[in-house]
Amino acid sequence: MDTDQLHYLNSRLKGMALEEALPFVLENIAGKKVFSTSFGIEDQLLTHYIHPYAGFVSAFTLDTGRQFNETYEVFQKTHDKYPSLKIKTFFPDEKDIREYVAKDGINGFYNSIESRKECCRIRKVVPLKKALEGAGLWITGLRAEQSANRETMEYLEWDDANQLVKYNPLLHHTLEEVEELVKRHKIPLSTLYAKGYLSVGCAPCTRAISKGEDFRAGRWWWEGGKKECGLHIHAEKNY
């Protein structure tokens, strides 16, 4: 999809309600549509709105092998509430995990940023590539206020690394707006959320955050700088 088309579609999406925007995008973007969920509050809200389109959107999650048990619990609750949306699980390659542990140790990601990024690559980025194969549209739960890196994003962006269009329906929703919609629709949440886990990844790499901390301060908290794992690489756009 070229820049002019994306610019036009983004201009149409501004001010459009979520329940209108989703079918609009599904109709205007060609190819296979996929939705990724990690069962955080944003993804849970999107699951609620996407499940009526289960025949047109494939849902998936990445199981890194180091998840919180609470993540599996909300996975089951989500399956029970939205049975029409079959969420496929993608796992890391067992050989890659064995080689990483042999070289860096079971928790080697604490030792260096390079080791942590390699762990993320094996457990997340490589399985994601498999999950996105053949897709033309990737629906995500990214929001602008989650990090400075995401503030310049658009609703629809060309993802050059994965050669598809990425759609961020909740980009300009505030956390308060997301929470209100989740409460209104009685959408299941991980019990970790009420304990201050606003962004949940692998158990060894996630902690609760305190009031006033950045949304992603609890991810890889022992590191400084930007808090991204490589799933959402964002390049500045000129449109």
Whether residue 198 is predicted with pLDDT greater than 80 in this model: the reply is yes
Give the model's pLDDT for residue 190.
97
Nearest Cα to 138, choosing from 17, 14, 26? Answer: 26
Whether residue 74 is predicted with pLDDT greater than 70 in this model: the reply is yes
Confidence class of residue 224 from pLDDT cuts 50, 70 and 90? Answer: confident
Confidence class of residue 214 from pLDDT cuts 50, 70 and 90? Answer: confident
Domains and CATH numbers, the chain: 3-205 (3.40.50.620)
Give the model's pLDDT for residue 2.
83
Q: Is 55 exposed, middle or buried (0-12, 13-18, 19+ CB in 10 A)?
A: exposed
Give the model's pLDDT for residue 226.
55
Instruction: Give dist(CA 213, CA 207) in Å, integer.
Output: 12
Contact call for residues 25 and 156 (beta carbons, < 8 A): yes
Confidence class of residue 236 from pLDDT cuts 50, 70 and 90? Answer: very low
Average pLDDT over residues 19-42: 97
Write the CA distances from 47 to 65, 170, 187, integer angstroms: 23, 12, 9
Instruction: Give dist(CA 22, CA 139) in Å, integer.
Output: 10
Whether residue 67 is predicted with pLDDT greater than 90 in this model: the reply is yes
Whether residue 237 is predicted with pLDDT greater than 50 in this model: the reply is no
Bridge partner residues of 137 (DSSP): 33, 165
Contact call for residues 165 and 136 (beta carbons, < 8 A): yes
Give the model's pLDDT for residue 46.
98
Instruction: Give dist(CA 119, CA 195) in Å, integer.
Output: 26
What is the residue-averaged pLDDT of the chain?
92
229 in catalytic set: yes
Catalytic residue among 119, 120, 202, 229: 229
Dump pLDDT digits (tens) for 129-176: 999 999 999 999 999 887 666 567 899 999 999 999 999 999 999 999
Nearest Cα to 35, choosing from 13, 53, 9, 12? Answer: 53
Average pLDDT over residues 109-120: 96
Bridge partner residues of 87 (DSSP): 59
